């Protein structure tokens, strides 16, 4: 099925309150343009060099999301334009984002990544680490960073109950903190394999790659 048809089909299943980020990593410019023609404006990439190259070649009204693990020394390349950084998983990264935000005279929107999966390989803060950051007041000393919410990735498993529980816990954490900090408005959870469960559990932002663009081939 074409990218346009996939997008139409997925959108028709989603509540209007959910933002769809089309994850275009490894995919050619032509497919991104096809999605753009279909009205898609939010795109996500993992690899910074690829993100920067694509941003330069595509329409300037695209909102670019940096969704994967981000190394501090790469922040400077995306700081001038990035719309939202999903994978903030350390304080040193947050400080570097603030520094680059200051250099570019802008406020950079970020999501704190929370480790909700059982695998040890996935990045992110624990709930209590995240809570400590929010309570510590240290964000006040980072005026060029705006924490807009949280991001999480569920375990890579076929066990739907486990995925549901992981998303449910993250959503509960989000709601609890949103009551205290209304600026928290984004809960990025759900990928191609688990997005229906994520929506059911209160996701406000999906990151979908293969379900829109087809399977990725790595060379
Ligand atoms: C690649 C990637 C996605 C999209 O994965 P699909 O399974 O293709 O939907 C979402 N989030 C992150 C962090 C990714 O790296």
The CATH number given to whatever domain includes residue 110 is 3.20.20.10
Helix (H/G/I), strand (E/B), else coil: 101: helix
The answer to whether the beta carbons of residues 35 and 22 sit under 8 Å apart is yes
Residue 218 placed within a domain: no
Atom of ligand 1 nearest to the CA of 193: 7
Ligand 1: atom nearest CA of 191 is: 9
HSE value, Cβ hemisphere, 13 Å, CA-based, for 187: 23
3-state secondary structure of 171: helix
> Taking a C-beta distance cutoff of 8 angstroms, is the pair 83, 107 a contact?
no
With a 6 Å cutoff on the Cβ, whether 190 touches ligand 1 is no
Instruction: Say what the pLDDT of residue 218 is.
Output: 73
Could you give the 3-state DSSP secondary structure of residue 29?
Answer: helix
Residue 184: which residues within 8 A CB-CB, separation 6 or more?
A: 147, 148, 149, 150, 174, 177, 178
Write out the two tokens for 98: 């603030």
Distance of alpha carbon 71 from alpha carbon 59, whole angstroms: 26
Q: What is the pLDDT along the chain (219 residues), one digit of tens a residue?
A: 799 999 999 999 999 999 999 999 999 999 999 999 999 999 999 999 999 999 999 999 999 999 999 999 999 999 999 999 999 999 999 999 999 999 999 999 999 999 999 887 768 999 999 999 999 989 999 999 999 999 999 999 999 999 999 999 999 999 999 998 888 999 999 999 999 999 999 999 999 999 999 998 876
65 lines ligand 1 (CB under 6 A): no
> Distance, CA 105 to ligand 1 centroid (Å)?
30
With the most atoms of ligand 1 within 8 angstroms of its CB, the residue from 10, 47, 209 to mutate is 209
Q: Sort 32 into a burial class: Cβ within 10 Å, 0-12 / 13-18 / 19+.
A: buried
Q: Which residue has the tokens 């007041």?
A: 137
Query: Atom 15 of ligand 1 has which residue's CA nearest to it?
Result: 68
Q: How many domains does the chain have?
A: 1
Q: What is the pTM of this model?
A: 0.96
To 5 degrees, how large is the angle CA 54–CA 114–CA 145? 60
Helices 29-37 and 3-13, interaxial angle, to 10°?
50
Nearest to 176 by CA among 114, 93, 103, 105: 114
The pLDDT assigned to 117 comes to 93
- Ligand 1 centroid to Cα of residue 135, in Å, is 30
The answer, yes or no, to whether any atom of ligand 1 lies below 6 A from the CB of 189, is no
Instruction: State the burial class of residue 101 (Cβ atoms within 10 Å of its Cβ: 0-12, 13-18, 19+).
Output: buried
DSSP 178-199: HHH-TT--EEEE--TTTHHHHH
Testing ligand 1's pocket by substitution, the residue of 67, 86, 113, 115 carrying the most ligand atoms inside 8 A of its CB is 67
Question: Residue 20 sits in which domain range?
Answer: 3-213
| Domain presence at residue 219 | no
Rounded distance from Cα 103 to ligand 1 centre (Å): 30
Amino acid 123: pLDDT: 86
């Amino acid at each position: 099925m074409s990218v346009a048809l996939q997008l139409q089909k997925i959108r028709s299943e989603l509540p209007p309150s959910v933002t769809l980020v089309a994850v275009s990593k490894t995919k050619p410019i032509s497919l991104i343009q096809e999605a753009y023609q279909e009205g898609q404006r939010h795109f996500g990439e993992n690899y910074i060099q690829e993100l920067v190259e694509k941003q330069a070649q595509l329409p300037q009204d695209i909102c670019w999301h940096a969704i994967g693990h981000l190394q501090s020394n790469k922040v400077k390349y995306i700081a001038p334009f990035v719309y939202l950084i999903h994978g903030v998983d350390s304080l040193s990264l947050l400080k570097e984002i603030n520094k680059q935000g200051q250099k570019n005279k802008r406020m950079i929107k970020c999501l704190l990544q929370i480790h909700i999966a059982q695998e040890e390989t996935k990045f992110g803060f624990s709930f209590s680490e995240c809570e400590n950051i929010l309570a510590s007041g240290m964000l006040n000393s980072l005026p060029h960073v705006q924490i807009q919410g949280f991001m999480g990735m569920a375990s890579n498993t076929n066990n739907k109950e486990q995925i549901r529980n992981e998303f449910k816990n993250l959503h509960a954490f989000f709601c609890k903190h949103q009551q205290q900090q209304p600026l928290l408005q984004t809960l990025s959870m759900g990928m191609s394999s688990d997005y229906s469960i994520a929506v059911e559990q209160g996701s406000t932002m999906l990151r979908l790659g293969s379900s829109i663009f087809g399977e990725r081939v790595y060379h």
